Amino acid sequence: MTDTAPKEEKPTHRSSQHGEGDVNLRELLAIVLARKWFVFFVMLVSLCIASLYVISIPPLYQTNALIQVNNKAEGMSGFMQSLSSSLTGSTSGAMPSQIEIALINSRFILEPTIEALDLNIQAYPKYFPIIGGFIARGHKNKGVAKPLFGLNRYSWGGEKILVKQFAVPEEFYNKSFLVKVEKDNQYKLYSPRGSLILEGKVGQVEQTKPDSAIPLLKILITELEANVGAEFRVLQVPTSQVALGLAQGISVEDMGEKLATSYISGVSRTGVLNLSFKGSNVNLLPLILNTIIDLDVQKNSNKKVEEAQKTLDFLNRQAETLKGELDQAESMLSNYKAKQGELGINLATRALLEKLLDTEKTLEAVKLKKSELLQEYTPLHPFVIAIASQQKKLQAELSLLESKVSNLPKSQQKALSLERDVAAKSKLYLFILGKIQQLQVIKAGTISDVRVLSYATKPIKLPSKTVSSILTGLIFGFILAVVIVFLRRALSKGIENPDYIEERLGIPLYAIIPFSRRQEQLGHEMKRKIPGRGPFVLAAISSKDLAIEGLRSLRTTLQFATQEAHNNVISILGSSPGIGKSFVSLNLAYVFADSGKKVLLIDADMRKGKINKYVCVTNVPGFAELLAGSATTEQAKRVLKQDQIDFIPTGKYPTNPAELLFSEKFKIIIEELKSHYDIVLIDTPPVLAVTDSILISKYSGSNVLVLGSGSEELPSVEHAVKRLKKSNVKVDGFVFNSSKELQHSYGYGYGNYGYYNYYYYDYNKDKK
């Protein structure tokens, strides 16, 4: 008969015990779920840290101001720009508003602001760690808050300090000094190492003595309001460092950039700048921003005045030189006329003279502009190169005109040269005088290109990032927990993959027993020894638990195994303690009894056996007394389930359990007991700890090795198996007693028994 049922496939053996060769999203999720309480704890800790961080940082405030920068330069700047345009035909690439934005964020403006407001001196109260600042910010009453818990060294709200002068040697920059408040406006100043360096009074300049540990230290505190004993931190910060901090808090934006039609190719044309300044000191923000604006306006105006004065000085020097040359030329022309009479220049020659004069005038103006530009730029600057090119063209044109003059008669050449010299110098001299008068007018009416439209507004509190910070903390905590879970899994040497263990040891897997939370509760209840509670047997209390389903799968496998064994004795072995060996033995006995078998359970761990505590029976007499001959079988056994389960506890722990098991008496007792029961289950001591289990398993028909998932290492298990084999003990199969992680990662779910049945079917088919 053909079997049409779909064949179940065997699971693919993985490349390692952690299963790196067959990892899927479901398994990864199951691993995380198995450690959900650890993940929750890490997220809770991260949430607490994020919350403490949120309350420890002060709130941020922002103030705004408006200024206008004339993109079209006026006054001296306009004069220079028009002069440059007329002579070179080129304009500057950067707009004035863009230049102002750069200047406001530069040390050129920020450092004078710092010096004017003493921002390089930082003084602040000492708060209680983490929560002190939050409590102080919540103080809204007038005056200084009373110290909490008697801790008057800390500030709790309302404290004030104003340090107008604090000068220390450079090696003490960024080092915190301590100011301790005393009575009657007195204070003490301590060094960064905690030593007292001076005692001072508010409102007086105090200075250390030359023989002091820190000479040349000077301090002036003009305001100090705090409880006696309160402490403040004072330090001097380098100006460049403070400027960097201010630049990070300043934001300058051209208002035209907000309107798509207000700029071309990303360059705004409005010149209206919105200045924003962020910080935590609500009282100081407007003062800083207004100082920056005033300094910018002042420096812009000073720059224009300096430019005008610099150009005036240059033109005055040129005017003096030209005046002397003009006087000399006029004198030579007068002398020539006195000797020769009239010059006798015809109309054609005079036209040539006018053209020469115009060319020379333009050439001299170009030379003048070139000299002026060379005071600010190098010869390789585009402005200088452009005007040099124009000068070269004018010189070529002048040379051509002079060649025409050389063809004239000698008398006309001489007269033309003298008149030309006087006329050229006269025109140039008048041109220079006109520019001087124009510059003097411009200088007298110089105003800044920067105009204040609105000074700093009242600071507004910026939206806090409390929610985002807490969410970030939660996400970080989750990621950290997941990373730790997988890192521990990757570094763990504990056995976790039953397929890999089966392949490595060459021993068939009989069953996988899932983790039982109910069994964990029973273990806690047993340890608490609550009167009237018991027995604490999972199979008797919760027969539908998944762990019991796993034991039923083991029972079915063992039923086939005992049919081929030489007797009905089953030894439950384990390489190390704490792997659930006694749990398997006790509950397996109840599972066998449920199938109609008469079972005898023996706790043969005569060193630390404790099954009697779970079934709530006395321990003496027991197996030790039975082997020693001081008790009979009837006296040693306890009835756990009428006509179904008998139990022999360990008895009083003997000093020589190995000798008792090695004796002939043990063999006789086993032979006698196996004839009265369908199944004899023996719970043995750990294999690696003592030799007792080896002595017991030699008389067993079936030997089952219990492996604890995650709690045992593979080398230990391999060593235990080798030890049994050397003693001619065959391990028929192993039971994988799973941890919480394996409960999820191997696909267990309430009401889903396919995995156990699958293993049962697979291995029993091999048995058959």
**Cα dist. 146→158, 217, 707 in Å?**
10, 32, 64
Tokens standing for residue 241: 């460092």
Sign of the CA dihedral 502, 505, 511, 516?
A: negative
Structure letter (DSSP) for residue 127: B
Q: How many CB atoms lie within 10 A of CB 354?
A: 11
Please tell me the predicted confidence (pLDDT) of residue 498: 83
The residue among 594 and 348 whose pLDDT is bigger is 594
pLDDT digits over 500-535, tens only?
888 888 899 999 998 888 888 888 888 887 766 778
Separation CA 723–CA 693 (nearest Å): 11
* Cβ proximity of 78 and 72 under 8 Å: yes
Q: Two tokens at 512?
A: 């996988």
d(CA 139, CA 158): 7
The overall longest dimension of the chain from CA atoms, in Å, is 167
Q: Which two tokens stand for residue 85?
A: 């345009």
Letter for the amino acid at 317? R
Most confident of 346-350, 400-404, 681-685: 681-685
Q: Where are the beta strands (DSSP E) in 664-765?
A: 679-683, 702-708, 733-737
Please report, as a single letter, which amino acid is at residue 34.
A
Query: What DSSP element (H or E) covers 267?
Result: strand 267-268
Could you read off the pLDDT of 402-436 as tens digits, one per residue? Answer: 776 666 656 556 666 666 677 767 777 787 788 77
Q: Write down the residue that tokens 């779909």 correspond to.
A: 6
> Is the CB of residue 16 less than 8 Å from the CB of residue 500?
yes
End-to-end Cα distance, the chain: 19
Residue 672 · residue 703 · CB < 8 Å: no
Of residues 18 and 37, more confidence is placed in: 37
Inform me whether the pLDDT recorded for 72 exceeds 70.
no
Tell me what pLDDT residue 41 has. 93
Residue 442 has pLDDT above 90, yes or no: no
Q: Quick check: 683 and 611 in contact, CB under 8 A?
A: yes
Take residue 426 and report the two structure tokens written for it.
Answer: 């006269």
User: What is the reported pLDDT for 13?
Assistant: 42
529 secondary structure, DSSP code: T
Residue 91: C-alpha distances to residues 81, 380, 721 (Å): 7, 16, 92
Quote the pLDDT of residue 356. Answer: 74
Task: Write the pLDDT tens digit of every residue in 96-110.
Answer: 778 888 888 888 899
pLDDT in tens, 258-306: 554 444 444 446 788 899 999 888 889 999 999 999 998 888 887 777 7
Report the range of poorest mean pLDDT among 135-144, 242-251, 469-478. 135-144
Q: Which amino acid is at 574?
A: G
pLDDT digits (tens, 9 = 90+) for 549-567: 999 999 999 988 888 888 9
Tens digits of per-residue pLDDT, 560-593?
A: 888 888 899 999 999 888 888 999 999 999 999 9
Lowest mean pLDDT among 27-36, 74-83, 107-116, 752-761: 752-761
8-state DSSP, 256 = G
Query: Among the ranges 95-99, 204-208, 400-404, which has the highest mean pLDDT value?
Result: 204-208
Residue 315 identity: L
Top pLDDT among 630 and 8 is at 630
List alpha helices for 623-679, DSSP H: 623-628, 633-636, 657-662, 664-674
Q: What is the pLDDT of residue 346?
A: 61
Q: What are the backbone dihedrals phi and psi of residue 66, each rounded to the nearest 5 degrees, phi first?
A: -125, 135
Give the whole-angstrom CA distance, residue 303 versus residue 296. 10
In this prediction, residue 598 carries a pLDDT of 94
Q: Who contacts 720 (Cβ-Cβ below 8 Å, separation ≥6)?
A: 573, 575, 576, 687, 688, 705
Tell me the DSSP string of 388-420. Answer: HHHHHHHHHHHHHHHHHHTTS-HHHHHHHHHHH
Decide: 449 and 71 in contact? Cβ < 8 Å.
Answer: no
Total Cβ atoms within 10 A of residue 244: 12
546-564 vs 581-594: helix crossing angle, rounded to 10: 80
pLDDT of residue 20: 47
Give pLDDT, residue 395. 85
- Mean pLDDT, to the nearest integer, of 729-736? 92
Q: 676: Cβ–Cβ under 8 A, 6 or more apart, which residues?
A: 598, 600
At 345, is the pLDDT very low, low, confident or very high (cuts 50, 70, 90)? low
Residues 121, 163 contacting (CB under 8 angstroms): yes
Selection from 174, 201, 173 nearest residue 187 by Cα = 201
The pLDDT > 70 percentage for the chain reads 82
Question: Which residues in the chain are classed under CATH 3.40.50.300?
Answer: 494-767
* Nearest Cα residue to 578 out of 700, 426, 716: 716
Give residue 6's pLDDT: 41
User: What does the CA dihedral 10, 11, 17, 23 come to, rounded to 10 degrees?
Assistant: 170
Task: Encode burial over 573-586: b for 16+ CB neighbours within 10 A, e otherwise.
Answer: bbbbbebbbbbbbb
Edge-first strand listing for the sheet containing 645-648: 509-513, 733-737, 702-708, 569-574, 679-683, 599-603, 645-648, 638-641
CA 333 to chain centre: 86
- Grouping H, G, I as helix, E, B as strand and the rest as coil, residue 228 is coil
Beta-strand ranges (E) seen in 102-240 are 121-125, 160-167, 177-181, 186-190, 196-201, 205-207, 218-225, 231-236
Across 387-391, 455-459, 600-604, 699-703, least confident range: 387-391
Radius of gyration (C-alpha) of the chain in whole angstroms: 50
Residue pair 763/510 in contact (Cβ under 8 Å)? The answer is yes
The helix-helix angle for 36-56 and 466-491 (nearest 10°) equals 140
CA-based nearest residue to 197, from 227, 218, 182: 218
CA distances from 503 to 16, 363, 732 (A): 10, 100, 14
Predicted confidence at residue 76, as pLDDT, reads: 46
Cα torsion 738, 743, 747, 751: sign: positive
Token pair of 400, please? Answer: 């051509």
CA 15 to each of CA 22, 23, 711, 758: distance values in angstroms, whole numbers, following the listed order: 8, 11, 21, 21
- Sheet of strand 218-225: strand arrangement: 160-167, 218-225, 205-207
Are the C-beta atoms of 381 and 369 separated by less than 8 Å?
no
Residues in the chain: 768
Contacts (Cβ under 8 Å, ≥6 apart) of 499:
11, 12, 13, 14, 509
Q: Quick one: tokens of 336? A: 């020539």
Paired sense of beta strands 599-603 and 645-648, if any:
parallel
Determine how many CB atoms are found less than 10 A away from the CB of residue 270.
17
The confidence score (pLDDT) of residue 534 equals 72
pLDDT in tens, 646-667: 999 999 998 888 899 988 899 9
Please tell me the predicted confidence (pLDDT) of residue 12.
43
d(CA 148, CA 170): 38
Please give the CATH topology (third level) of the domain spanning 494-767: Rossmann fold (3.40.50)
